[in-house]
């Protein structure tokens, strides 16, 4: 590397005082010396600037090249793992979940909990619509069977593309759930909990139960998968919540959940019927009627009592034998359930 000699040349300059008169020749020699030194200084400075410029360009070039390499690596990886790692229907700018959370973080502290509650409920309704639309798109995705490998218990059988897809949808506030061997997107409880600090106590009570029922759904594969005790507790919770919160932002939700749980308690589901499969004719399970009697005795103020008392009479009138009459009775008592 070339070195600049200006500093060492400066050491050769004699020390002068203003008081000393200089002969003309010496003055001319001195001017020539200064001119030579100035030219050398300018030359060295230019070389330094050129070298700095070249160094800067080299650094910039390396940065550009590194970006190109990273981009190449990303393209390469995407081809190996998932050529459509982010399906068109999963675009961040369309994510109501991310946009709403960002808005709450910016403005939630400046609003009353009442306003935040209303906005959260509005979000929850839209989020559910968003969820349904994404699921429709997912079912029609050409890679659905690939993503469906996420349900395999053997990790080695899960396609890498499916893992990548799972990571993407988590960003949008969902997780992969499954029913009857098929995956679908469900709201992620941890995402919903991001709103906790902005909401009222009442809304958080609602959200806590809502999240619990996401984690532990009532049914799967056409059968009830929670205990009878839990089913009763949910029924009573929603009944109490509906009664205690007349001005709740989702006026019909709690009442509908109460009726849903009561319906399944009374009539079961296809794969968890209220009768014993092994009996001929099909006898109503005695442990179920005992639960009805227990609820009637323990919760006399519950609205469910008028349903259960009438139902026990109906069961006795049918000699505790299940028949098509039970379907007719269910349609009469819960017409909304059959209208869904």
* pLDDT beyond 90 at 37: no
What is the average pLDDT across 53-75? Answer: 33
**CB neighbours of residue 182 within 10 Å:** 12
pLDDT in tens, 160-202: 999 999 998 998 999 999 988 999 999 999 999 999 999 999 9
β-pairing, 219-220 vs 223-224, is antiparallel
Q: What is the rounded distance in angstroms from the CA atom of residue 10 to the CA atom of residue 5?
A: 9
Buried b (16+ CB within 10 A) or exposed e, 83-119: eebebeebeeeebebeebbeebeeebeeeebeebbeb
Q: Is 17 helix (H, G, I), strand (E, B) or coil?
A: coil
- The region that residue 180 occupies, defined by phi over 0 for left and psi between -120 and 50 for alpha, beta otherwise, is left
pLDDT in tens, 284-295: 999 999 999 999
pLDDT at res. 95: 79
Per the DSSP assignment, residues forming a β-bridge with 179 are 182
Give the H/E segment covering residue 275. none
Q: What is the rounded distance in angstroms from the CA atom of residue 85 to the CA atom of residue 163?
A: 10
What is the average pLDDT across 310-318? Answer: 98
> What are the helix (H) ranges across 144-200?
144-147, 160-171, 189-192
Output the average pLDDT for the chain.
80
What is the average pLDDT across 214-229? Answer: 94
User: CB–CB of 199/116 below 8 Å?
Assistant: yes
Q: What is the rounded distance in angstroms from the CA atom of residue 310 to the CA atom of residue 90?
A: 50
Q: What is the rounded distance in angstroms from the CA atom of residue 216 to the CA atom of residue 194?
A: 20
340: confidence class by pLDDT, cuts 50, 70, 90: low
pLDDT in tens, 236-283: 999 999 999 999 999 999 999 999 999 999 999 999 999 999 989 999
79: confidence class by pLDDT, cuts 50, 70, 90: very low
Q: What is the rounded distance in angstroms from the CA atom of residue 89 to the CA atom of residue 79?
A: 20
What is the average pLDDT across 23-34? Answer: 45
Helix, strand, coil % over all residues of the chain, rounded to 5: 65, 5, 25
Counts for the chain of helices (H) and strands (E), in that order: 14, 4
Q: What is the rounded distance in angstroms from the CA atom of residue 320 to the CA atom of residue 201?
A: 45
Q: What percent of the chain has pLDDT over 70?
A: 74
β-pairing, 182-187 vs 219-220, is unpaired
Q: What is the rounded distance in angstroms from the CA atom of residue 52 to the CA atom of residue 190?
A: 51
Contacts for 198 with CB less than 8 Å, ≥ 6 apart: 104, 108, 109, 111, 113, 116, 120
Q: What is the rounded distance in angstroms from the CA atom of residue 173 to the CA atom of residue 190?
A: 8
23: confidence class by pLDDT, cuts 50, 70, 90: very low
* pLDDT beyond 70 at 51: no
The answer to pTM > 0.85 is no
pLDDT at res. 170: 92
Q: What are phi and psi of 184, to 5 degrees?
A: -155, 165
Most confident of 36-40, 151-155, 306-310: 306-310
Closest CA to 220 of 171, 179, 249: 179
pLDDT at res. 84: 47
| DSSP character at residue 15 | P
- How many whole angstroms from its chain centre is CA 286? 43
* pLDDT beyond 60 at 30: no
Q: What percent of the chain has pLDDT over 90?
A: 66
Q: What is the rounded distance in angstroms from the CA atom of residue 333 to the CA atom of residue 330?
A: 5
- The region that residue 320 occupies, defined by phi over 0 for left and psi between -120 and 50 for alpha, beta otherwise, is left
């Amino acid at each position: 590397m070339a070195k600049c000699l200006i500093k060492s040349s400066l050491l050769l300059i004699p020390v002068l005082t203003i008081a000393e008169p200089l002969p003309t020749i010496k003055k001319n020699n001195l001017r020539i010396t200064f001119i030579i030194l100035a030219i050398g200084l300018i030359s060295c400075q230019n070389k330094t600037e050129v070298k700095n410029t070249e160094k800067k360009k080299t650094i910039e070039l390396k940065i550009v090249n590194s970006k190109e390499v990273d981009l190449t690596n990303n393209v390469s990886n995407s081809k190996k793992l998932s050529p459509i790692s982010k399906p068109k229907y999963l675009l961040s700018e369309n994510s109501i979940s991310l946009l709403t959370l960002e808005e709450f973080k910016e403005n939630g502290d400046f609003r009353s909990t009442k306003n935040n509650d209303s906005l959260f409920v509005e979000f929850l309704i839209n989020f559910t619509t968003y969820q349904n639309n994404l699921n429709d798109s997912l079912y029609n995705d050409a890679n659905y069977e690939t993503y469906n490998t996420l349900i395999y218990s053997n990790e080695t059988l899960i396609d890498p593309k499916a893992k990548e897809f799972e990571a993407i949808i988590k960003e949008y506030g969902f997780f992969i759930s499954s029913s009857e061997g098929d995956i679908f997107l469900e709201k992620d409880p941890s995402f919903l909990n991001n709103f906790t600090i902005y909401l009222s106590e009442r809304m958080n009570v609602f959200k806590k139960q809502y999240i619990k029922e996401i984690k532990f759904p009532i049914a799967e594969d056409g059968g009830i998968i929670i205990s009878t005790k839990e089913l009763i507790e949910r029924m009573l919770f929603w009944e109490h919540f509906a009664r205690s919160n007349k001005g709740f932002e989702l006026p019909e939700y709690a009442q509908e959940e109460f009726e849903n749980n009561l319906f399944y308690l009374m009539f079961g589901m296809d794969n968890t019927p209220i009768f014993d499969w092994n009996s001929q004719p099909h006898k109503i399970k005695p442990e179920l009627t005992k639960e009805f009697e227990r609820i009637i005795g323990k919760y006399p103020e519950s609205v469910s009592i008028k349903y259960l008392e009438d139902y026990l009479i109906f069961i006795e009138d049918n000699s505790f034998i299940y028949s098509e009459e039970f379907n007719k009775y269910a349609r009469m008592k819960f017409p909304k359930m059959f209208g869904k």
